[in-house]
A and B are shown apart, each in its own frame.
Chain A
Amino acid sequence: MSNVFPTRTGTETDVRLPFSFIMFAVLAFAASQLMLLGAIPSLSSGAFRLPFVWAAAHLALLGFALMTAMGAMYQLVPVAFLTPIWSERLGFWQFAVTAAGIVAFAVSLAAAPNRAFLPSLLLLLGIILFVWQMAMTLRKQETKNVMTLFVATSLLFLLLTAAAGGLLAFHFFAAKGANSHEVVFGLHVLFGLCGWFTLLIIGFSYKMAPMFSLAHGFSLRPARYVYALYISGIAVAFASLFLRSHAWLAAGAALLMSGFVVFVWHIRAILQKRMKKTLDRPFRFSLSAIVIGLALHVAAFAAIVVGSGRLLGIIVYLFIVGWILFSIIGYLLKIVPFLWWTHRYSEKVGQQNVPTLKQMMNERAVTVQCRLWLIALALAAVALAVASVPLFAITQVLLAGLSVAFAGTILTVFRK
């Protein structure tokens, strides 16, 4: 039994900290999508490895996805793991270093990739500070659980992704490492997309899904199998890169797919135990991202088996947008109203009528946007599959418009 005198759990984070990350992220997202408008011809022909595309992709993945994940973790880790952030002061410093590192890194990737090494070190410092902060915070958690395992492992992969990325930047800087470049690039993608983002999203989904659906009476036991299968998949795919073995890569992809299948089955089982019959649009959007993630894991396995590198490139693009970015967009549409509500109305509960979280956002606009995101992804998949420049151009204009509209939707919350 816990006494709430004074009625603070001591785990609340200064709301300005997650907000700093999230505001930076929303603006970076719009910027990345607008930048990609300029890369339409090369993207639609399947040429992803160009400096301008790297810059936009890293602005989306680092500026938006990474910064959102960091901001959300500053908010969620204390409440989900019942332990306060180790040092909020360090958090603000970490924000400044990481934000400066991302901007400098994206600009140097676009302008002069061979000079991206030094900004990458600044970015690496920001990531190290974040991992240190979270490690010290999680260390204080009294009872560790399966979520701790997912989140702690994802943090380790964040470090490895950053290290591999730094090595890639060093290759350009020193004009060395041509022999190992492909392997390091593979590690960077594998660790970043599967090890960091996917494990993190899966881990927090085990908190968010029951919370947003008011699910009770479910077992978390299958999460262990998800973890074991997915980690095995990453390990086997990791080995395949060094062995240069197609069979091992296919085996790794099969394990990753199996882990994700169990995850989807488990989330479905949790949602069957829900008390809230009608789920909110943003949460349903995150659930759509899980279904997309499943389809893309299956497609990636198939592409590897048939040995289609072009198809795999398209799947990686769709994986980033449809699984990672859509998951984050969905959860962000829940987190931002909550943060602002806490800041603005928390102290007024019990004294006057306060809005519900649902009333903090224009639900109609959110519904339209969520549908358009899904349509844009379907169009992108078709455009990339048939290598249609005009269709991809339309899709990218739609994505850019949606990212600006999304930024607007987030900003309108602050007027409530």
Chain B
Amino acid sequence: MDVRKLAIQQLKTVLDPELGINVVDLGLIYDLKIEDGHINVLMTLTTPGCPLHDSIARGVKRALEQIDGIRDVRVQVTWNPPWTPERMSEEALRQLGHFS
């Protein structure tokens, strides 16, 4: 499996503990750059001042560090552009009670 697919698989193990939905389906990951064993993640959270800010950002870093051959992971949290619900996947919406 290529590293990008592995990275997304790992990111899907990081859940927002309040919602129980992973960061990929929530649409929190804006960009993922993988190069020579280095990963740069640009991500956001559902709201500025989220009490889970540090837990989720550090969780993303740790999850990606588990991948064989990855030497360095950098995570940047941005509020620009702010997260919007449109970024969520159908799976996330389903878990939030939509379509039922």
Contacts and interface: CB of A to CB of B under 8 A. Distances in A.
Contact of A350 (B18, B60, B79): B60
What size tier do the contact residues of chain A reach?
A: 35 or more
A278 B95 CA distance: 10
B84 A1 contact: no
B8 interface: no
B20 A338 contact: no
A141 to B, nearest CB: 11
B14 A7 contact: no
A350 B16 CA distance: 11
A79 B49 contact: yes
Given A277-B96, A349-B14, A214 B46 contact: yes
B54 A346 contact: yes
Interface of A: 1-5, 7-9, 12, 75-76, 79-82, 207, 210-212, 214, 216-217, 275-278, 338, 341-342, 345-347, 349-351, 353-358
Contacts of A351: 62-63, 66
Contacts of B53: 9, 79
27 contacts: A1-B79, A1-B80, A4-B57, A4-B58, A4-B75, A4-B77, A5-B74, A7-B54, A7-B61, A7-B75, A12-B54, A75-B51, A79-B50, A79-B53, A82-B49, A211-B47, A214-B96, A216-B85, A278-B97, A347-B58, A349-B59, A350-B62, A350-B66, A351-B62, A351-B66, A356-B17, A356-B19
Contacts of B49: 79-82, 207
Interface of B: 10, 13-15, 17-20, 46-51, 53-66, 74-80, 84-85, 88, 93, 96-98, 100
Contact of B97 (A1, A217, A277): A277
B62 A349 contact: yes
Contacts, number: 109
- A-B pairs with the 4 shortest C-beta distances? A277-B97, A349-B59, A350-B62, A350-B63
Contacts of A1: 76, 78-80
B76 A346 contact: no
A276 B57 contact: no
Contacts of A349: 14-15, 17, 55-56, 58-59, 62-63
Contacts of A341: 17
Nearest to B11: A350
B58 A210 contact: no
Most chain A CB neighbours (cut-off 10 Å) among B15, B20, B51, B93:
B51
A277 B98 contact: yes
Nearest to A358: B20
A356 B18 contact: yes
A350 B59 contact: yes
